[in-house]
Structure 1
Amino acid sequence: MSFATFMGVPMKTDAAATGASRACVLGVPFDCGTHPFRVGSREGPDAIRRQSRLLRPFFVDPQGRPANPLEALRLVDAGNVHCHPGDIARSYPLIERAMDELLDAGMTPVTMGGDGAVTLPQLRAVRKRYSDLVVLHIDAHTDTYDLDGFNTATTFTRAAEEKLVDAHASFHVGARGTTFIDGVIGFGRSLGFNVVPFSEFEADREGCIARIRERIGERPVYLCFDMDIFDPSCAPGVCTPEWGGFNPKEGIALLRAFAGMNFVSFDVNTVSPAQDIGDATAFLAATVMLECCALAAQTPSR
């Protein structure tokens, strides 16, 4: 069952008829279905839309942002991609095609997953338009593991191999906690990615943000934001929670610190409603989506 549109914005019914829209929400209800006991990110987009009804369009204190980014972007909602959860071969082309439609219409995609595997087909679509694309990946995990195949752990391994992004100007920010394979930070760096573990970011937040902005410069940026960057105390409904993460104030402040960068696509993922408590994670993800809209409205090319 699908819920109303994100924050009540108009539904996009035809790309050709929405030329005035500068950005579009897209749900990607897909997960690989391989997690030992946390399967449910396929339900994320509808949960986020439901909780977005708690948000209002105007920022009380815009601080240089548009007071109403939905209006500034003429935001519309394209609904959900008709994915086949657990079936990458069938779902990836559908996700890529849906992204193609939005990008061809000149709109900035603001998507919501889905698990971390949904990023790869989106990158494939965005890379067709931007040959010098970089990724800014904010996540408790690098999703860049030395493994074969297509899954949540190999999203950026495959992206580097397919040359979808310039790894040397791309960043993984926030890796922490535990994992099932050794050496993930070193392997990510061996592919060229700038990997900033959570401990390193915590030690010098302003310096890390300045380094990211300087290294990326004016290049087109794909922002991938995994909700497990937040601590499970405030975002329990994620696929792979890790203690010791951001609180909401810190996570939102990090997003706002990137204002003015050349964002061309946004991807918020890994909300798993089956494990969410009081819909807290879905509500926080809806807030992150709104912050992404504000970043889109402040992108120089927009």
Structure 2
Amino acid sequence: MSFVTYMNVPMKTDAARGASRACVLGIPFDCGTHPFRVGSREGPDAIRRHSRLLRPFFVDPQGRPANPLAALGLVDAGNVDCHPGDIARSYPLIERAIDDLLAAGMTPVTMGGDGAVTLPQLRAVKKHHPDLVVLHIDAHTDTYDLDGFNTATTFTRASEERLLDEHRSFHVGARGTTFMDGVLGFGRSLGYNVVPFSEFEADREGCIARIRERIGKRPVYLCFDMDIFDPSCAPGVCTPEWGGLNPKEGIALLRALAGLNFVSFDVNTVSPAQDVGETTAFLAATVMLECCALAAQTPSR
């Protein structure tokens, strides 16, 4: 069986250098430490399979390119050759793959993998965009007062490594339960703008306006964790939390971000083993298409 690319776009070749403005990349890595939900390493292939349900043209573009795939010359670079559970071996491979895409003038549109795949990507993007900021949309901050490298410490380590400007970066959507107290306060103590889900839900337009004002024209790394959605529509995630967005709300949130200076996209935490009806993989494929539309509308692109 031949390799299934995202939405059947061409595979990346050397000839794509300069012709393609964006590239899909799978990052099949998870830490393998969750008590009973291990499997997001299989997320990229599941997303690709269900991307075949999507068509390239928006019925109602609403100011966007009708066909963002064509506008970007989108290609698919396949998967990074990761070693699940082995951070020491996998992180350099992920970082190098992202660095190569950016050096070729392409915007990475990646699919994990668990939330740990973000840190090596940030390391690569920082080399090309020194004034980088992060917009992290997630039911968890991934910024915990813990040692080591895992899904809970991604943005703790990113802050320590000075990979981003915390004071112009946002964590949006934290809700539900967690295994330790004080996570919102700790994220704020590092300088991040932490917007819990309750605050976002109370004033969505105001939150988006604040994001736009604070970020301005800075290069933006969008990290989109699929558990921002409610488990009723996205059951196949690593750490589900009830009370999240429905698909209409999530897509509207992404579209409201058009015009920010996006330089990299990271959609993660699809876990096919728990994906009842495979709805999460299909929704993630749709999120990636919305990210492509954002890439096509990015001023610097």
Q: Same fold (TM over 0.5)?
A: yes
Mapped partners of 1:2, 1:240: distance in 2 = 32
**Correspondence for 2:69:** 70
- Percent identity for Structure 1 against Structure 2: 90
Letter in 2 for 1:188: G
Tell me if structure 2 keeps the 8 A contact 1:3–1:49: no
Q: Residue by residue, what CA displacement relative to the aligned partner does 1:31-80 show, whole Å, maximum 9, x if unpaired?
A: 00000000000000000000000000000000000000000000000000
**Correspondence for 1:209:** 208
Report how many residues are paired: 301
Tell me if structure 2 keeps the 8 A contact 1:2–1:46: no
Tell me if structure 1 keeps the 8 A contact 2:258–2:294: yes
Aligned Cα root-mean-square deviation (Å): 0.9
Mapped partners of 2:133, 2:237: distance in 1 = 25
Tell me if structure 2 keeps the 8 A contact 1:24–1:78: yes
Q: SS at the partner of 1:278?
A: helix
Mapped partners of 1:255, 1:159: distance in 2 = 24
Runs of 5+ unmatched residues, structure 1: none
Tell me if structure 1 keeps the 8 A contact 2:29–2:117: yes
Are 2:8 and 1:8 equivalent residues in the alignment? yes
What's the TM-score, normalizing by structure 2? 0.99
Structure 1 position 3, deviation (Å): 4.3
Q: SS at the partner of 2:78?
A: strand
**Correspondence for 2:83:** 84
**Correspondence for 1:288:** 287
Structure 1 position 19, deviation (Å): 1.7
- Map 1:199-278 to 2 at 5 A: 199-278=198-277
Structure 1 position 116, deviation (Å): 0.1
Q: Residue by residue, what CA displacement relative to the aligned partner does 1:165-191 show, whole Å, maximum 9, x if unpaired?
A: 000000000000000010000000000
Tell me if structure 1 keeps the 8 A contact 2:139–2:225: yes
**Correspondence for 1:180:** 179
Mapped partners of 1:162, 1:30: distance in 2 = 22
Runs of 5+ unmatched residues, structure 2: none
Structure 1 position 18, deviation (Å): 2.8
Letter in 2 for 1:9: V
Letter in 1 for 2:252: A
Are 2:84 and 1:97 equivalent residues in the alignment? no
Structure 1 position 13, deviation (Å): 2.6
Structure 1 position 204, deviation (Å): 0.6
Q: 1:202 to 1:2 in 2, by over 3 A?
A: farther
**Correspondence for 2:21:** 22
Q: 1:287 to 1:69 in 2, by over 3 A?
A: same
Tell me if structure 2 keeps the 8 A contact 1:126–1:265: yes
